[in-house]
Amino acid sequence: MNTSNQNANLTQLKTTIANNLAVLLFFNTQSCNVGEALEPKVKNLLSSNFPKIKMFTVDLNFSPQIAASYNAFVEPTILVFFDGKETIRKSRNIGIYELEEAIKRPYQLIFE
pTM exceeding 0.75: yes
* Structural contact between residues 23 and 13, judged by C-beta atoms closer than 8 angstroms: no
pLDDT averaged over 10-residue windows placed end to end, the chain, 112 residues = 52 93 93 85 96 94 90 93 96 91 96 88
Please calculate the CA angle 16-49-93 and round it to the nearest 5 degrees. 80
Fold classification of 3-111 (topology level): Glutaredoxin (3.40.30)
Alpha helices in the chain (DSSP H): 3-19, 33-49, 64-69, 96-111
Burial class for 106, CB neighbours closer than 10 Å (0-12, 13-18, 19+) = middle
**Domain coordinates in residue numbering, the chain:** 3-111
